[in-house]
Amino acid sequence: MIDIKNYNNNNVFAKILRKEIPSKKVYEDEYAFAFEDISPQAPVHILIIPKKPFCSFDDFLEKADDTFILGFIKSIKLINKCLNIKNGYRLITNVGLHGGQEVPHLHFHLLSGDFSKKLVSS
Ligand code: 5GP
């Protein structure tokens, strides 16, 4: 069962941040790191992660200071600009077991392009 109470320094996104495993980076600033999902579910499927250790969106809202929260959220706009996204996008963050979270480091999925309009794919 996924543990989103205690941050695990060996999760795959922590390793990507430390450059211990490769990723296809699309954007980086002091708050956020964004890279292509290894198993894309849409023509554009980017993962956006904070450059600090938060297990989930809940953990982030509890522990991050307001400057970091604002900076991280604003980076999403900059990523859209960088990717030249013009016709909209979908943002998803899964939290915990019942949210379907697999990697215990907060991440937003940014999906765009001509893909299923269903809220959750089957
Ligand atoms: P979750 O189910 O936790 O919301 O999403 C985890 C996402 O991470 C999945 O979409 C999965 O494809 C992606 N992922 C897992 N391992 C790796 C990896 O090593 N590299 C990249 N780029 N994406 C990964």
Q: What is the pLDDT of residues 59-100, one digit of tens each?
A: 999 999 999 999 999 999 999 999 999 999 999 999 999 999
Q: Does any domain span residue 81?
A: yes
pLDDT of residue 121: 55
Q: Does any domain span residue 2?
A: no
Is 107 considered catalytic here? yes
| Average per-residue pLDDT for the chain | 94
Closest-CA residue, ligand 1 atom 18, reads 38
Q: Does any domain span residue 1?
A: no
Domains in the chain: how many in total?
A: 1
pLDDT tens readout for residues 89-106: 999 999 999 999 999 999
For 26, list phi and psi in degrees, rounded to 5.
-115, -20
Q: Which atom of ligand 1 is nearest to the CA of 101?
A: 3
* CATH code of residue 95: 3.30.428.10
When pLDDT is cut at 50, 70 and 90, the band that residue 115 belongs to is confident
Residue type, 32: A
Q: Does any domain span residue 122?
A: no
CA distances from 106 to 1, 2, 84, 89 (A): 16, 13, 24, 19
Q: Which domain holds residue 30?
A: 12-112
